[in-house]
Amino acid sequence: MLTPTPLMGLVTGFWSFKTLAAAVELDLFTKLHNGLTLTVAQAKQELGLPERPADLLLAACASLGLLEKDGDGYRNSPLAEEFLVRGKPYYFGGQVSYCDQRTYLPWHRIGEALRTDRPLTWDPSTQDSMFDTADPEMLESFWGAMYSTSIFTAQALGRAIDLSGRRRLLDVGGGSGAYPIELCRLLPELSATVLDLPHVCEIAQVNIERADLSGRIGTRPGNFLTDAQLPDGHDVVLFSMILHDWDEPTNQELLTKAYAALPPGGLVVISELLLNADRTGPAPAALMGLNMLVETEGGRNYSDAEYAQWLTRAGFTDVRTVHFDAPGANGAVIATKP
């Protein structure tokens, strides 16, 4: 029998997110690292909460698979222990905090964005883009979120596509450097360059040095939108979670620049949450597209068929799609310069 139960799940979806966000804000999972447990009574003291909220939060986190019950206490689930303990290499709390602080409240006004076709997280009348900000806390939050998401997406990409024999990768809009770091770890013969705005390159350089990869990964300050050409000398050009920020003419121009920068036999890789050809899903790609309405002027998520058309128009051949499962992308569209 058809019931509205699925609709109720959609209606209350924000309950799960805000439970996770509150627990991250309270640093609950860090307090429970290395197998520690908390009873409700102990949580009152550790979290600074009254008894009833402490009890409800712990129960809610357990119901979401973030905590496990151990006698009268609660401990981290393997998922929380691996990804939600602050200071761990693959800490995902940055993504949680960014969405909580940056996009959650603007999404309350999604109707306004639908009616006006204008972003909600920044003002196009005073800023050039969502990345044009002098707020250091917002920058730290954004790039921390992107780094935590990109680490696993880069690993999945590196396992899904064949980059053997490739020597130099250009990461266009490479941000905090997660993709080059993870790909260079997977491929000892690979070196890479991060192309991004000067202040972003500084963030990437810190991560590169922390990964002990300064000898193989460099940064190149620039603006891939306004620079006349992309840096040459690379046999792979990567666009990862970049093209969904821009409209079709901008993306076509970027792919044309990539073609010009690559040598014959060079590879272009587009890693994104790809829509299917009839634009009915999958949900993460379609909803990320709607998030682009909140965050950008012209961005949206595209299908691999659309990317294939643009790549062919730019001159690339042997266009193919590889699918994988990762937080920031579900596949990559790859093509070769003849």
Alpha-carbon distances, residue 70 vs 36, 54, 74, 77, 82 (angstroms): 10, 16, 6, 11, 18
Same topology, domains 5-83 and 93-336? Answer is no
Whole-number pLDDT of residue 94: 87
Write a three-state SS string for 275-336.
ECCCCCCCHHHHHHHHHHHHHCCCCCCCEHHHHHHHHHHHCCEEEEEEECCCCCCCEEEEEE
* Catalytic residue (choose from 33, 108, 199, 244): 244
pTM (two decimals): 0.93
Assess whether 244 carries a catalytic annotation: yes
N residues, the chain = 338
CB 224 within 8 A of CB 254: yes
pLDDT tens digits, residue range 257-287? 999 999 999 999 999 999 999 999 999 999 9
| Strands of the 38-39 sheet, one edge to the other | 38-39, 73-76, 67-70
Whole-number pLDDT of residue 125: 81
Cα–Cα distance for residue pair 326/254, rounded to 1 Å: 24
Query: Would you state the structure tokens that stand for residue 297, as one six-digit string?
Result: 């002027």
Q: Which residues contact 297 (CB under 8 A, 6 or more apart)?
A: 118, 119, 124, 129, 247
Whole-number pLDDT of residue 135: 63
Candidates 3.40.50.150, 2.40.10.10, 3.40.630.40, 3.40.50.720; CATH matching 93-336: 3.40.50.150
pLDDT tens digits, residue range 94-109? 899 989 998 999 999 9
CB 53 within 8 A of CB 59: no
Place of tokens 């053997």: 164
Whole-number pLDDT of residue 298: 94
Whole-number pLDDT of residue 47: 95
Low-confidence ranges of the chain (pLDDT < 70): 129-141
Whole-number pLDDT of residue 225: 95
Cα–Cα distance for residue pair 332/322, rounded to 1 Å: 5
Identify the burial level of 317 via C-beta atoms within 10 angstroms of its C-beta, where 0-12 means exposed, 13-18 middle and 19 or more buried: exposed
Number of Cβ within 10 Å of residue 24's Cβ equals 23
Where do the domains of the chain lie?
5-83, 93-336
Whole-number pLDDT of residue 186: 95
Angle value at C-alpha 324, between 313 and 163, nearest 5 degrees: 65
Closest listed residue to residue 308, CA positions, set 333, 337, 279: 333
3-state class (DSSP) for residue 231: coil
Chain-centroid distance, C-alpha 290 = 15
Class of the CATH-defined domain 5-83: mainly alpha
